[in-house]
């Protein structure tokens, strides 16, 4: 098996295995395990892991101010700076806030993405030429996925509250405004599937991307696909008892867990995959979600020259002080008419 | 080693090997790596494990406990640099950075995709510092640190010019440049260094400049350039060295005084300062703006940088003016006051003695960029300029990576260009290859050694490619820049890919255009090339 096959197989097998585990477990009447123990455990791991990571990051120093400066720096007052410059090379915390907001909410850096291709040059038949063009597909795929995911998560909050809060009901309504089907068909369901397939497809289609993709990249994609698929199946095809599900969730939330009857195994599979995702999150690249807020190339103002940044572990270093240097070259300097601190006594020691 | 022809190098193959990247090992082909540092340089600067070894050898004579040293070094850096830890943890391998690196575009080697270059380090981090990596190994991208891995680090960390183009495009700002630097520190901790960089560092440390010029040689070179100025313009451009009490200490990279075409830029500085009757001095001790130390470690960068403030304090100058240089300015901007640890209070907030402009943006740093300084002069109408004297030049401008993505200085040089060139003589390269998206010269960060020529030409391919575009389309014949390293590396690069284009500094153009009282009639530019229209009509002074 080659590299790619191995990594895909492992990831796919892991997700299928997880599905099987939950399915078989529930058939074997382990509802309590999959409905109560695992969700609590997953939440624990999720929060423990994230907090641990974030504290670890937050506690490690940022010795230097190294923002990537992607716009004109603030210099002379008459040097023009566009809004873009201010956001891409922020001069103060307020602008950093803007930069981060754009980054987190609109995926600014990804929006900038370009593609480069080597094309043969008609004027130089044997030479080649690089062309660079703006490339927004990855941005689109990523933003579609993340926003769909967010809306779906928010929609699910209706399982957690009794009665369903107004904004969440509204969100579901907007999402489901295409009322072609009964029950309401959610736009985000189709968007997330398409986005996931795109994100997976690009990894497989592009040879270089395939080359860098590890099982730990395929795994979350397969896992989320699994979650989405089971969710969709449950919603549109193999209905489960929604009232019972809500009862289960409310039990978990109120710390008085109950296992209502009538919940289909498909639901437990869905829930189990979600739990795995939660537990996996802090130990994986999914950490990019909290991590982006800590990125020193993005979250600092580019104001080094007018505001001192202190390195907490700054220490004195050995350098070659001027007097030692003059000792080395005094006579020659004197002879060449370069001012010296101490007149030379004789003109004997010379280097080179 | 013979350099392949441009048409051969231009046929880049972007198809990755069939085997997984952990199994593929670097091929140390001459022309694609820099020589090992000679032990003498390491001894000069107290670097660990000086020894005579060669990259081509099977045995790199690593110290017995090299593995512990590297892993301890990694642990230490994980604790001291949030960046490293974060960048290890959050990359999603989306590949947005992949086709942004000029080395990947030029070599097609997938390990030159920034994401994979980082993965070479990350895999070791995962194996030794994360639970999941310890448990699952290769399948999550973790692997043991062995000699092959360390050789791979050496090969690929010296195929990164710390240009941080990748960081610009990464959705999380993951900066390979930062990791490269930390990785190089770890390599140095077991005595793996490259000669070109370490020689420069040692010379800067001991003497003053990376070429190791003695104070008298430094003075000779610059005096010679002053004489050249007098010969061409009839204007004496006197220079003072180590003069106490001067108002301004001028620091410029050594590339400006020892090799063409940098020297012409230096002549431009001298002309400008003379024109303004500026109270300034050179220092033979702080004689190097370019910080080669930063190419090998944060600490070495600080050890060299320390000389500048030290000298400014001794000479009792008021503030510091810095010449045209890329990495010098990245270091001065991102590190200098932080390294010093406090506001250097023996200096004053820089004020232009000519225009009275207070450089508020350098309030703490106390150091002004020559492009800021000159742009301010032009803005206040303090320079009489005759752009026609640059009429033989059709220019495009190369933003150096360091001043671009490490500082954000884009408009000042362009403003100057517009005032020293005749109208319609300035052309931008395609938008995806300039400003913050600029492409590296391919030879920075200590890897511009001659033995590394094939890699340099490959790495510079995207830059040259954009230059070729404006050359063909608009007849551009000069590439301007505000970086001495560019002036050292780009001529070689363009000679190879676009031989019709020369490289010039911006202050050289200012020097050409400056009109002095009492100057002799100029018939040539600072390079002794005839001015346009000379011989046909009187002088080049009539403006149109
Ligand atoms: S762009 Fe950033 S997150 Fe994506 S692969 Fe490159 S380094 Fe990783
Ligand atoms: S810093 Fe520059 S040279 Fe290094 S990996 Fe990133 S793009 Fe490539």
Residues sharing a CB contact under 8 Å with residue B358, sequence separation 6 or more, in sequence order:
B349, B350, B351
Record: contact B130-A283, CB cut-off 8 A: yes
Per residue in B482-513, pLDDT (tens digit) is 999 999 999 999 999 999 999 999 999 999 99
Task: Identify the band that residue B11 occupies on the pLDDT scale cut at 50, 70 and 90.
Answer: confident
As a whole number of Å, the CA-based R_g of chain B is 24
Report whether pLDDT(B193) > 80. Answer: yes
Per residue in B29-83, pLDDT (tens digit) is 999 999 999 999 999 999 999 999 999 999 999 999 999 999 999 999 999 999 9
Mean pLDDT of chain A: 91
Q: Report ipTM for this prediction.
A: 0.92
Report whether pLDDT(B530) > 80. Answer: yes
Task: Identify the band that residue B211 occupies on the pLDDT scale cut at 50, 70 and 90.
Answer: confident
Per residue in A173-193, pLDDT (tens digit) is 888 776 655 667 788 999 999
Ligand 1: distance of its center to the CA of B169 in Å?
8
Whether B467 and B501 have beta carbons less than 8 Å apart is answered as yes
Ligand 2: distance of its center to the CA of B105 in Å?
11
Record: contact B141-A216, CB cut-off 8 A: yes
Report whether pLDDT(B543) > 50. Answer: no
By most ligand atoms within 8 Å of CB, the mutation choice from B21, B87, B90, B92 for ligand 1 is B92
Q: Which residue of A has its CA nearest to B365?
A: A305
Ligand 2: distance of its center to the CA of B107 in Å?
13
Q: pLDDT at position A181, please?
A: 57
Whether B271 and B511 have beta carbons less than 8 Å apart is answered as yes
Record: contact B284-A314, CB cut-off 8 A: no
For residue A116, CA distances in Å to A138, B100, B108, B398, B490 come to 14, 8, 12, 19, 22
Rounded Cα distance between A87 and A100, Å, is: 9
**HEC states along B96-141?**
CCHHHCHHHHHHCCHHHCHHHHHHHHHHHHHHHHCHHHHHHHHHHC
Average pLDDT over residues B377-394: 95
Residues sharing a CB contact under 8 Å with residue A274, sequence separation 6 or more, in sequence order:
A42, A227
Beta carbon pairs, A and B, within 8 Å = 332
B residues 484-543 near A, CB within 8 Å? Answer: none
Percent of chain B as helix, strand, coil, to the nearest 5? 50, 5, 45
B residues 140-199 near A, CB within 8 Å? Answer: 140-141, 164, 167-175, 178
Rounded Cα distance between B385 and B388, Å, is: 9
Q: pLDDT at position A243, please?
A: 87
Q: pLDDT at position A311, please?
A: 95
Q: pLDDT at position B519, please?
A: 85
Q: Which residue of B has its CA nearest to A220?
A: B92
Whether A351 and B214 have beta carbons less than 8 Å apart is answered as yes
Task: Identify the band that residue B213 occupies on the pLDDT scale cut at 50, 70 and 90.
Answer: confident
Rounded Cα distance between B494 and B500, Å, is: 8
Q: pLDDT at position A123, please?
A: 67
Percent of chain B with pLDDT over 90: 86
Measured between beta carbons, which residues in chain A are less than 8 angstroms from residue B93? 212-214, 217, 285
Q: pLDDT at position A179, please?
A: 60
Task: Identify the band that residue A348 occupies on the pLDDT scale cut at 50, 70 and 90.
Answer: low
Average pLDDT over residues A75-81: 94
Report whether pLDDT(A62) > 70. Answer: yes
Q: Is residue B204 lining ligand 1, measured as CB closer than 6 Å?
A: no
Of residues A65, A70, A129, nearest to B436 (C-beta): A70
Average pLDDT over residues A265-279: 95
Closest alpha carbon to B241 in B182, B287, B184: B287
Ligand 2: distance of its center to the CA of B99 in Å?
10
Q: pLDDT at position A29, please?
A: 86
Average pLDDT over residues B231-251: 94
Q: pLDDT at position A344, please?
A: 86
Rounded Cα distance between A159 and A167, Å, is: 14
Measured between beta carbons, which residues in chain B are less than 8 angstroms from residue A56? 85
Percent of chain A with pLDDT over 70: 95
Measured between beta carbons, which residues in chain B are less than 8 angstroms from residue A138? 94, 96
Record: contact B338-A310, CB cut-off 8 A: yes
Record: contact A73-B85, CB cut-off 8 A: no
Whether B223 and B239 have beta carbons less than 8 Å apart is answered as yes
Q: pLDDT at position A180, please?
A: 58
Rounded Cα distance between B357 and B371, Å, is: 14
Measured between beta carbons, which residues in chain B are less than 8 angstroms from residue A209? 95, 98
By most ligand atoms within 8 Å of CB, the mutation choice from B97, B101, B122, B165 for ligand 1 is B97
Task: Identify the band that residue B540 occupies on the pLDDT scale cut at 50, 70 and 90.
Answer: very low
Rounded Cα distance between B220 and B372, Å, is: 29
Atom of ligand 1 nearest to the CA of B113: 6
Record: contact A60-B79, CB cut-off 8 A: yes
Measured between beta carbons, which residues in chain B are less than 8 angstroms from residue A99? none
Choice among A170-184, B238-252, B260-274, B298-312 with the minimum mean pLDDT: A170-184
**More confident position, B532 or A17:** A17
Residues sharing a CB contact under 8 Å with residue B227, sequence separation 6 or more, in sequence order:
none
Average pLDDT over residues A210-224: 95
Measured between beta carbons, which residues in chain B are less than 8 angstroms from residue A103? 171, 173
**Where is mean pLDDT largest: A298-312, B6-20, B204-218?**
A298-312
Report whether pLDDT(B544) > 50. Answer: no
Task: Give the pairing of strands B478-481 and B319-322.
Answer: unpaired
Q: Which residue of A has its CA nearest to B311?
A: A322
The SS3 of residue B17 is: coil
Atom of ligand 1 nearest to the CA of B96: 1
For residue A219, CA distances in Å to A183, A205, A278 come to 31, 17, 13
Distance from CA of A318 to the nearest CA of B (A): 6
Report whether pLDDT(A352) > 50. Answer: no
Choice among A41-45, A165-169, B150-154, B451-455 with the minimum mean pLDDT: A165-169
Average pLDDT over residues B254-274: 93
Record: contact B99-A109, CB cut-off 8 A: no
């Amino acid at each position: 098996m080659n590299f790619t096959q191995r990594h895909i197989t492992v990831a796919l097998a892991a997700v299928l295995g997880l599905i099987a585990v939950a399915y078989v477990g529930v058939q074997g009447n382990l509802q309590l395990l999959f409905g109560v123990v695992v969700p609590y455990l997953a939440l624990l791991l999720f929060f423990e892991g994230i907090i641990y990571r974030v504290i670890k990051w937050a506690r490690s120093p940022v010795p230097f101010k190294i923002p990537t400066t992607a716009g004109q720096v603030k210099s002379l007052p008459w040097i023009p700076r566009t809004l873009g410059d201010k956001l891409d090379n922020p001069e103060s915390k307020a602008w950093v806030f803007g930069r981060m907001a754009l980054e987190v909410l609109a995926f600014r850096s990804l929006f900038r993405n370009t593609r480069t291709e080597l094309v043969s040059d008609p004027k130089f038949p044997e030479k080649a030429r690089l062309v660079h063009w703006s490339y927004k597909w990855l941005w689109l795929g990523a933003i579609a996925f993340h926003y769909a995911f967010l809306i779906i998560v928010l929609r699910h909050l209706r399982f957690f509250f009794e009665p369903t809060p107004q904004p969440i009901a509204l969100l579901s309504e907007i999402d489901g405004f295409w009322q072609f089907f009964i029950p309401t068909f959610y736009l985000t369901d189709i968007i997330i599937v398409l986005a996931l397939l795109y994100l997976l497809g690009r990894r497989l289609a592009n040879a270089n991307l395939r080359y860098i993709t590890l099982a730990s990249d395929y795994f979350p994609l397969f896992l989320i696909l699994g979650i989405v698929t089971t969710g969709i199946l449950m919603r549109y095809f193999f209905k489960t008892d929604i009232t019972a599900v809500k009862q289960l969730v409310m039990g978990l939330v109120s710390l008085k867990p109950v296992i209502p009857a009538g919940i289909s195994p498909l639901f437990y599979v869905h829930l189990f995959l979600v739990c795995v995702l939660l537990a996996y999150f802090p130990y994986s690249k999914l950490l990019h979600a909290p991590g982006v807020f800590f990125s020193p190339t993005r979250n600092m103002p580019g104001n080094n020259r007018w505001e001192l940044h202190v390195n907490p572990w700054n220490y004195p270093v050995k350098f070659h002080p001027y007097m030692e240097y003059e000792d080395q070259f005094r006579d020659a300097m004197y002879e060449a008419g370069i001012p010296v601190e101490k007149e030379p006594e004789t003109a004997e020691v010379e280097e080179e | 080693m013979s350099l392949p022809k441009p048409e051969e190098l231009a046929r880049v193959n972007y198809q990755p090997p069939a085997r997984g990247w952990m199994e593929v090992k670097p091929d140390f082909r001459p022309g694609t790596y820099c020589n090992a540092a000679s032990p003498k340089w390491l001894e000069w600067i107290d670097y660990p494990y000086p020894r005579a070894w060669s990259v081509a050898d099977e045995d790199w004579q690593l110290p017995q406990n090299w593995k512990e040293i590297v892993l301890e070094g990694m642990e230490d850096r994980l604790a001291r640099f949030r960046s490293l830890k974060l960048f290890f943890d959050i990359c999603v391998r989306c590949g947005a950075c992949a086709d942004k690196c000029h080395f990947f575009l030029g070599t097609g080697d997938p390990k030159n995709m920034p994401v994979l270059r980082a993965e070479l380090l990350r895999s070791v981090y995962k194996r030794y510092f994360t639970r999941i990596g310890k448990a699952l190994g290769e399948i999550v991208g973790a692997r043991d640190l062995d000699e092959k891995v360390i050789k791979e680090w050496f090969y690929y960390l010296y195929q990164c010019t710390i240009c941080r183009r990748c960081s610009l495009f990464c959705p999380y700002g993951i900066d390979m440049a930062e990791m490269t630097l930390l990785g190089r520190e770890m390599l140095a901790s077991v005595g793996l260094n490259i000669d070109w960089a370490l020689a420069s560092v040692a010379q800067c440390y001991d003497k003053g400049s990376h070429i190791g010029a003695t104070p008298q040689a430094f003075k000779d070179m610059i005096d010679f350039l002053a004489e050249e100025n007098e010969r061409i313009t009839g204007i004496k451009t006197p220079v003072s060295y180590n003069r106490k009490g001067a108002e301004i200490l001028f620091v410029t990279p050594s590339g400006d005084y020892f090799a063409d075409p940098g020297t012409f830029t230096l002549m431009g500085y001298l002309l400008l300062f003379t024109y303004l009757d500026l109270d300034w001095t050179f220092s033979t001790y702080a004689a190097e703006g370019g910080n080669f130390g930063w190419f090998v470690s944060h600490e070495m960068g600080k050890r060299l940088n320390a000389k500048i403030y030290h000298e400014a304090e001794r000479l009792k100058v008021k503030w510091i003016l810095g010449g045209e240089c890329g990495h010098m300015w990245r270091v001065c901007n991102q590190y200098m006051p932080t390294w010093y640890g406090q506001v250097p209070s023996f200096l004053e907030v820089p004020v232009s003695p000519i225009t009275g402009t207070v450089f508020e943006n350098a309030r703490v740093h106390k150091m002004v960029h020559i492009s800021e300084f000159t742009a301010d002069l032009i803005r206040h109408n303090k320079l009489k300029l005759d752009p026609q004297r640059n009429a033989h030049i059709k220019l495009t401008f190369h933003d150096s990576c360091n001043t671009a993505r490490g500082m954000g200085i884009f408009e000042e040089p362009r403003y100057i260009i517009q005032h020293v060139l005749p109208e319609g003589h300035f052309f931008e390269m395609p938008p995806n290859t300039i400003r913050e998206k600029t492409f590296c010269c391919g030879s920075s960060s200590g890897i511009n050694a001659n033995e590394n020529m094939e890699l340099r030409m490959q790495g510079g391919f995207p830059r040259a490619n954009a230059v070729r575009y404006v050359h063909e389309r608009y007849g551009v014949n000069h590439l301007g820049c505000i970086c001495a390293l560019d002036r050292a590396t780009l001529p070689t690069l363009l000679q190879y890919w676009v031989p019709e284009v020369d490289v010039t500094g911006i202050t050289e153009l200012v020097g050409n255009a400056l009109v002095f009282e009492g100057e002799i009639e100029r018939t040539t530019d600072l390079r002794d090339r005839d001015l346009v229209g000379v011989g046909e009509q009187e002088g080049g002074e009539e403006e149109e």
